[in-house]
């Protein structure tokens, strides 16, 4: 149950970070540097934010075992995807095909790479911050 709550917090904070950096991409980076460059500039910043969030959530919630960290990562990604898909499809009105295209790594999309990093980050930080006895 502890890892489930940590995962929900992680997913919510991950979505908030993605929303912030996505807004920066659309408002600043794409107009200044173009579409592809804007995405490439945003991605490492968002990835760094996700890693920071994972580290903080792991430390603050006391996630120390690999199994708890895996649960936290999977729940976090699931929460982010639930919010993201609702936002994209229902609020922004994207078609299902448009939304699913954002997962196509073969066409240069970075979203799946970020999701994989988000899922794995808690495991890395749980191992770096073992439980102190």
Mind listing the pLDDT tens digit for each residue in 103-121?
A: 999 888 999 999 999 999 9
**How many Å apart are CA 105 and CA 128, to the nearest integer?**
30
Question: pLDDT tens digits, residue range 20-54?
Answer: 999 999 999 999 999 999 999 999 999 999 999 99
Long-range contacts of 65-71 (CB under 8 A, 24+ apart): 65/126, 65/131, 66/123, 66/126, 66/127, 67/3, 68/2, 68/3, 68/6, 68/126, 69/3, 69/122, 69/123, 69/125, 69/126, 69/127, 70/122, 70/123, 71/3, 71/4, 71/7
Locate the domains of the chain by residue range: 2-128
The residue-averaged pLDDT of 57-62 equals 94
The label of the residue with tokens 């999977």 reads 74
CB 8 within 8 A of CB 78: no
pLDDT at 32: 96
Residue 113 confidence (pLDDT): 95
């Amino acid at each position: 149950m502890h890892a489930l709550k940590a995962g929900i917090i992680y997913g919510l904070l991950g979505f908030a970070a993605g929303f912030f950096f996505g807004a920066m991409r659309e408002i600043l980076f794409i107009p200044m540097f173009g579409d592809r460059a804007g995405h490439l500039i945003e991605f490492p910043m968002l990835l760094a934010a996700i890693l920071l969030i994972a580290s903080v959530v792991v430390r603050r919630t006391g996630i120390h075992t690999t199994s708890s960290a895996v649960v936290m990562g999977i729940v976090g990604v699931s929460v982010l995807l639930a919010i993201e898909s609702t936002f994209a499809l229902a609020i922004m009105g994207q078609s299902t095909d448009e939304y699913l295209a954002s997962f196509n790594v073969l066409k240069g999309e970075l979203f799946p790479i970020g999701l994989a990093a988000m899922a794995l980050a808690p495991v890395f930080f749980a191992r770096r911050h073992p439980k102190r006895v």
